């Protein structure tokens, strides 16, 4: 084994100190890729100009900070309901915060942190519609939902078996179809529906029926087996509730729609 000369040894030590971040930024290097929805006002929305807004965006940003990342290191990537598991499995994103309801089928493919929000499935109809006041009224009517979502399946299976279902790629497309009279209702979580109803361009056009057809516990999806990240995210979520940031994010994103949210749910996944 060759022993380096004194000058070389000093250089090696100096290089090691620099690499270890001694005296500098000790945070994680590189970007943190996070999967969110791009088309859900109040939840996850890509604004004109490339900025992002919504409750899931605020939760993700808070988690990223607790993990040691700076805002400029966050890279938001679009996820659709049908490809959330794939993006995690192929390491396209580190975690997914995209109105991602925890259920047993999804837990076979990914692990969840949380839950961090409790929503309820509801119906969005045109403001002048007086024919739909309950889910059973959807029999012989047209219902819109998003490909990969379980919402329409829940309604058609148990409540309105004669309803016809139109599946589109995104909720924005469903809102347009509802406005144009191509469908009679849109179903998904009330938090998402409230976000659309609260948009300035939709003022007076739509209304929520006000149902609680299911309990939707939103979780943060991580790659199956990544217990370390799951635990760190759970710790961040607990802190967000404790320091008031969670409640502030709820009021900021859902308050304008007069949305009555549930309290922060207890975390039941991982540790």
Q: Which domain holds residue 175?
A: 120-208
Whether residue 271 is contained in a domain is answered as: no
Same domain, 91 and 158: no
Q: Give domain status of residue 267, yes or no.
A: no
What pLDDT shows up at residue 263? 94
Same domain, yes or no: 110 and 147: no
Q: Are residues 240 and 113 in the same domain?
A: yes
Q: Is 171 contained in some domain? A: yes
125 within a domain of the structure (yes/no): yes
* 60 and 178 co-located in one domain: no
Same domain flag for 167 and 103: no
In a domain, 22, yes or no: no
The number of folded domains in the chain is 2
Task: Tell me, yes or no, whether 96 and 229 share the same domain.
Answer: yes
91-107 burial by CB neighbour count: b if 16+ within 10 A, else e? eebbbbbbbbbbeeebe
**For the whole model, what pTM was predicted?**
0.78
> For residue 143, what are the β-bridge partners?
165, 185
Q: Does 101 share its domain with 228? A: yes
Look at residue 10 in the predicted model and tell me its pLDDT. 39
Residue 264 lies in a domain: no
Question: For position 138, which CATH number holds?
Answer: 3.40.190.10
Using alpha carbons, select from 67, 108, 63 the residue that is nearest to residue 85.
Answer: 108
pLDDT in tens, the chain (271 residues): 444 444 443 343 343 434 444 444 568 989 999 999 998 899 999 999 999 999 999 999 999 999 999 999 999 999 988 899 999 999 999 999 999 999 999 999 999 999 999 999 999 999 999 999 999 999 999 999 888 777 888 898 989 999 999 999 888 899 999 999 999 999 998 998 988 988 888 888 999 998 999 899 999 999 999 999 999 999 999 999 999 999 999 988 887 666 778 899 999 998 6
Give the model's pLDDT for residue 169. Answer: 87
Whether 167 is in a domain gets the answer: yes
């Amino acid at each position: 084994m060759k022993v380096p000369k004194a000058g070389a040894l000093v250089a090696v030590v100096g290089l090691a100190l620099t690499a270890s971040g001694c005296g500098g930024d000790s945070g994680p290097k590189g970007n943190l890729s996070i999967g969110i929805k791009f088309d859900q006002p109040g939840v996850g929305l890509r604004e004109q100009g490339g900025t992002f807004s919504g409750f899931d965006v605020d939760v993700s940003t808070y988690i990223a900070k607790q993990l040691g990342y700076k805002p400029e290191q966050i890279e938001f990537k679009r996820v659709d309901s049908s490809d959330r598991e794939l993006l995690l499995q192929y390491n396209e994103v580190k975690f997914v915060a995209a109105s991602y309801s925890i259920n047993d089928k999804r837990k076979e493919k990914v692990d969840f942190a949380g839950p961090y929000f409790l929503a309820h499935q509801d119906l969005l109809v045109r403001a002048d519609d007086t024919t739909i006041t309950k889910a059973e009224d959807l029999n012989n009517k047209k219902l819109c939902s998003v490909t990969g979502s379980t919402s329409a399946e829940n309604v058609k299976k148990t409540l309105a078996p004669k309803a016809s279902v139109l599946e589109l790629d995104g909720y924005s497309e469903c809102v347009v179809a509802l406005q144009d009279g191509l469908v009679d209702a849109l179903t998904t979580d009330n938090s998402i529906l409230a976000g659309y109803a609260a948009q300035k361009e939709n003022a007076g056009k739509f209304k929520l029926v006000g149902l609680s057809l299911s309990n939707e516990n939103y979780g943060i999806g991580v790659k199956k087996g990544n217990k370390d990240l799951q635990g760190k995210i759970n710790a961040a979520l607990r802190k967000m509730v404790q320091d008031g940031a969670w409640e502030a994010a709820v009021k900021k994103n859902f308050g304008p729609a007069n949305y009555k949210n549930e309290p922060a749910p207890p975390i039941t996944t991982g540790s």
